[in-house]
Amino acid sequence: MANKRVFKFATASAVAASALVAAVPASAASVTYEQASAQVEKARAAANGLHAEYTRNADYKTVVDSKEARDELARAKAKIAALKSAKEKAYLNTRIQGTIDTVERANKYNNAVRVAVTYLPEAKAALEAALVNVDTNVAAAETAKEKYDAYVKQAEINFGKVYGAAIQAKFKSDYLTEAVYNLQKDAAAKIADAKLGPAVKSVSAINATKIEVKFTSAVDKSSVLTAAGAIQGTAIFTLAELDGQANASVTGASLSADGKTLTLTTDVPVSKRYDVVVDGLKTTTGKDVAKYNQVVNFVADATAPTILGTERISASQVKVKFSEPMKAFAPTFQYADGSTVTGVTGSVAAGADEVIFSMDSNVTVNKGLIATFIGAQDQAGNLLTPNPATVSFVKGSADGVAPTVSSITQTGAKTFAVKFSEELLAKPVVEIGGVAVVATDVVQDSTDKTTYNVTAPAVLDGATTVAVKTFSDLSGQSGTDMSKVVTFVKETAAPKVLSGTVVVDDTNKKEYLEITLDKDVVLSTPTVDATSGSFVKDYVTTSLADTDITAKTVAYKSATNKKVLRVELASFLTGHDVKGATYKLNLAFAGVASASGVAADTAQVTFTRGEDGLPASTAVASVTQVLPGVDNNKVEVTFDMAVDGASAINPANYKIDGAIVESVTLKPASGTPTTQVAVLNLKAGSNGFTGTRNINISGVKALGSSKVMNPFFTNSVILKENIAPTVTSAKLTATNELTLTFSEAVTDTTGVDFEVLIGGLSQGTVETVDAGVGAVGKTSVKVTIATIDATELSKGISLKGLSTLDIADAAGNALSLPANISVSQ
């Protein structure tokens, strides 16, 4: 459809030309001036009404019907073209030009309407739909965005062509809104995130003990929290101090509804730098979230907490909400008239951002109460503002309308829903056959707060007595315990296979046959067997008998989705595993049944076998030592294993305070166990002082591994400065004496340092000299040379450093020399 629509954006000229071809009379030579002139008038009359339509249209959303005018215009052009007289042609072309302009303006107006009303909204809807599944189908989202961008551009072009500035402005303000361009930006950002793969986007502090972690893809809640709300053992959240503060431990977590924002609660306030690790999480599509291991600098919380407000939970309970977690604190209570009150309880627990005040029978109904907070602090020690702060509340009376059980409805083989006439203060007690259901199996529905979902301890079957007890509404009005006989229908339908597809595991890169059923299944020593089938490779079909493929263990793909099973194809197809072959197999299951015990039905699946990949290594390299190198321009970093060259020689992965790492040279791996040394080449002159340094190393991978190292930090390595001394002047102070001045104090031994050049030419070994600085640092020294006569002096005297030069500063930096040192007089 999109390709067809492109032709609707044809210009008015193209439209007119196509009409012209169709309207040319069979015998053009028979056209007279009178006939042509009459046709021109017909065209002008047909076009007269168009101007009003495209300039005074009330909504600018309706296409102008210009077909009659286009047809008459085409006929007129054809008749004019058939005239023999050039003068007659010119005159009639002049008379018809206004009609041509009118038709073209109508066409441009129609093009603008079509893109605004039809094409752009359709592209917008398609893009929004594709973005819903961008994590699993980024290609579709990219295609949809390309089409949307194209129609936005088409709208900008067409709106700019319509006749009249006011109409152009109307189209643009109505259809090229801020929301149109915001969708382009939002789509670009989501597609970019999806291409990066599941990863942590950012880590930041909300307040002293709350850290917000944002992800590029929705995270599976079950990989973060257990059903009871505790942090999963496989989820890793660590904050290791780097600036001498206490390490922080994560004590709680909550995941946003869209799964893309995780809020972590720490046991201590966080500030300064931490080595933060987030690992072991999975997306809602079962993919691994890339390990996050970065140094994060948290700014200390200096914002005063506030009271956000109060919320009535019931007639006798009120919740007070704070802007952030607080230190433990107990407020004081009194009646609003200043009199003493008893029977009000509630104190702020350490780390809580809300508190519930409960009022017993000693509290007077509908009499104003005040809670006062003096000196309350958040977890960082910031005082509550204002200080003192107060909240007002009252104890209400029961509403007089008792809650009732509206219905009990079976929802599964072992589940049913109890719906109430209104929301309850707390979950009710539910009994089945006189036995109470454990409280954890009575759960309030996430979308309907008046409904509680109950999981029975056994399969529901036949007439059963269900009792609902001990419940009250939010006002505190108690409901009457009830008991009734409910007839449950035992599930008898067998689980059926909906699909069988080949999926590559993100971790081990092996192919699995993924089997999706129409309902949850229970596994008990489960297997899947191919009872018969065939496979085709290179047009050759091979039949498979029952014994060719034996039963193999099948398992849930995810513990949170009991409708999807999988089996490793390399194991399942043992003896008949052919790369690129298309298989058609008849499957039978054992140990796979519905919740009511009905065995899974047989099924036929068709799939194409690919090839198992090699799992990426998860080895993590560590730094074992950092030492100064063979000279002051080098630092040697030793890793505990062979490392990936590309990451190991990247200078950006090494940070040394007060020095610049210009390049990195990797030595061959060696030893048992294997180690490897990276030599950091410091930029000459970049290290200005001798002393201990902060050294940070990160981003280096083990050889063949997909995992980067944990950030390494040390401040115990002493480096010497690497600013080389220089000769600042060389003067001839006597006919046989030179005075050399250095940029800093230098020393040397007795080695020969310079060769004396006359006129730039060597004078032989008799003209080599020792600077004679000695072991005591000097900034100036006199050097005796062979006597210089006037002729030699006129040719110019210079010094050339020799390979035996041993002049160095106190840090051991060798004297830096140009090719030749000119000697001045």
Summarize pLDDT for 81-100 with one digit per residue, the tens: 999 989 988 999 999 998 88
Work out whether strand 210-215 and strand 200-207 pair parallel, antiparallel, or are unpaired. Answer: antiparallel
The residue count for the chain: 825
* Structure confidence at residue 228 (pLDDT): 75
- Residue 629's Cβ-count burial label (10 Å; 0-12, 13-18, 19+) is middle
Cis peptide before 386 (omega within 30 of 0): yes
- Report the C-alpha gap between 759 and 642 in whole angstroms: 55
- Segment 712-743, tens digit of pLDDT: 988 888 999 999 999 999 999 999 999 999 99
**Numbered ranges of CATH 2.60.40.1220 in the chain:** 197-298, 307-393, 405-488
Give yes or no for a contact between 362 and 319, defined as CB atoms under 8 angstroms apart. Answer: no
- Report the C-alpha gap between 174 and 622 in whole angstroms: 59
- Report the C-alpha gap between 679 and 365 in whole angstroms: 78
The number of beta carbons lying within 10 Å of the beta carbon of residue 687 is: 25
* CB half-sphere exposure, 786, CA atoms < 13 A: 15
- Report the C-alpha gap between 579 and 568 in whole angstroms: 14
Q: Which fold has domain 197-298?
A: Immunoglobulin-like (2.60.40)
Angle at 746 between CA 741 and CA 748, to 5 degrees: 110
The larger pLDDT score, comparing residue 12 to residue 511, is at 511
CA distances from 782 to 5, 737, 766, 803 (A): 91, 7, 18, 21
* Structure confidence at residue 25 (pLDDT): 44
- Report the C-alpha gap between 11 and 169 in whole angstroms: 21
Q: Among 411-415, 418-422, 765-769, which is the least confidently predicted range?
A: 765-769
Average of per-residue pLDDT across 318-330: 94
Kindly provide the b/e burial profile for residues 140-168, where b requires at least 16 CB atoms within 10 angstroms of the residue's own CB: bbbebbebbeebbebbeebbebbbeeebb
Q: Does domain 307-393 have CATH number 2.60.40.650?
A: no
Cis peptide before 403 (omega within 30 of 0): no
- Report the C-alpha gap between 235 and 254 in whole angstroms: 13
Provide the 8-state DSSP code for 65: -
Residue 476 φ/ψ region, left for φ over 0, alpha for ψ in the -120 to 50 degree band, beta for the rest: left
Query: Smallest Cα–Cα separation from 622: which of 643, 636, 647?
Result: 643
- Segment 569-579, tens digit of pLDDT: 999 999 999 99
Strand order across the beta sheet in which 415-420 lies: 405-410, 415-420, 451-455, 442-444
**Chain CA centroid to CA 105, Å:** 47
- Report the C-alpha gap between 543 and 576 in whole angstroms: 10
Place of tokens 């001990």: 470
Using pLDDT thresholds of 50, 70 and 90, give the confidence band for residue 765: low
Q: At residue 256, what is the residue type?
A: S
Check whether 27 has a pLDDT greater than 50: no
Query: Smallest Cα–Cα separation from 700: which of 630, 788, 763, 639?
Result: 639
**Chain CA centroid to CA 732, Å:** 70
- Report the C-alpha gap between 39 and 68 in whole angstroms: 13
- Report the C-alpha gap between 191 and 183 in whole angstroms: 12
Query: Smallest Cα–Cα separation from 703: which of 668, 672, 679?
Result: 668
Would the pTM count as exceeding 0.75? Answer: no
Check whether 20 has a pLDDT greater than 80: no
Give yes or no for a contact between 159 and 180, defined as CB atoms under 8 angstroms apart. Answer: no
Average of per-residue pLDDT across 788-808: 90
Using pLDDT thresholds of 50, 70 and 90, give the confidence band for residue 23: very low
Q: Which fold has domain 727-822?
A: Immunoglobulin-like (2.60.40)
Using pLDDT thresholds of 50, 70 and 90, give the confidence band for residue 114: confident
Average of per-residue pLDDT across 571-594: 95
- Report the C-alpha gap between 694 and 298 in whole angstroms: 19
Check whether 195 has a pLDDT greater than 80: no
- Residue 582's Cβ-count burial label (10 Å; 0-12, 13-18, 19+) is middle
- Segment 365-404, tens digit of pLDDT: 889 999 999 999 999 999 999 999 999 999 888 778 899 9
CA distances from 755 to 74, 616, 660, 758, 803 (A): 97, 60, 34, 10, 10
Query: Three-state DSSP class for 707?
Result: coil
Query: Smallest Cα–Cα separation from 638: which of 625, 622, 652, 653?
Result: 625
Query: What's the CATH number of domain 623-719, 3.40.50, 2.60.120, 2.60.40, 1.25.10?
Result: 2.60.40
CA distances from 679 to 61, 460, 623 (A): 70, 71, 13
Query: What's the CATH number of domain 405-488, 3.40.50.850, 2.60.40.1220, 2.160.10.10, 1.10.10.10?
Result: 2.60.40.1220
DSSP strand E in 280-383: where? 292-298, 307-314, 317-322, 332-335, 344-345, 354-359, 369-373
Work out whether strand 654-656 and strand 727-734 pair parallel, antiparallel, or are unpaired. Answer: unpaired
Query: Smallest Cα–Cα separation from 622: which of 692, 693, 705?
Result: 705
What the block records as the tokens of 381 is 């020690």
Contacts of residue 453, defined as CB under 8 A and 6 or more positions apart, other chains included, come to 411, 415, 416, 417, 442, 443, 444, 445
Average of per-residue pLDDT across 499-521: 89
The number of beta carbons lying within 10 Å of the beta carbon of residue 719 is: 25
Check whether 14 has a pLDDT greater than 50: no
* Structure confidence at residue 514 (pLDDT): 95
Q: What mean pLDDT value characterizes the chain? A: 88
Average of per-residue pLDDT across 503-513: 86
- Report the C-alpha gap between 206 and 577 in whole angstroms: 53
**Chain CA centroid to CA 603, Å:** 39
Handedness of CA 459, 464, 469, 471 (dihedral sign): positive
- Segment 215-247, tens digit of pLDDT: 988 899 999 998 778 888 889 999 998 888 888
Using H for helix, E for strand and C for coil, what is the string for 529-576? EEEEEEEEECCEEEEECCCCCCCEECEEEECCEEEEEEEEHHHHCCCC
What the block records as the tokens of 526 is 């489960």
* CB half-sphere exposure, 576, CA atoms < 13 A: 23
Q: At residue 806, what is the residue type?
A: D
Give yes or no for a contact between 356 and 344, defined as CB atoms under 8 angstroms apart. Answer: no
Q: Which fold has domain 497-608?
A: Immunoglobulin-like (2.60.40)
- Report the C-alpha gap between 39 and 25 in whole angstroms: 13
What percent of the chain clears pLDDT 70, i.e. is strictly above it?
95
Using pLDDT thresholds of 50, 70 and 90, give the confidence band for residue 139: confident
Average of per-residue pLDDT across 809-822: 91
Work out whether strand 821-822 and strand 369-373 pair parallel, antiparallel, or are unpaired. Answer: unpaired
Give yes or no for a contact between 274 and 240, defined as CB atoms under 8 angstroms apart. Answer: yes
Contacts of residue 59, defined as CB under 8 A and 6 or more positions apart, other chains included, come to none
CA distances from 499 to 37, 50, 514, 535, 707 (A): 72, 58, 8, 18, 34
Query: Three-state DSSP class for 361?
Result: coil
What percent of the chain clears pLDDT 90, i.e. is strictly above it?
58
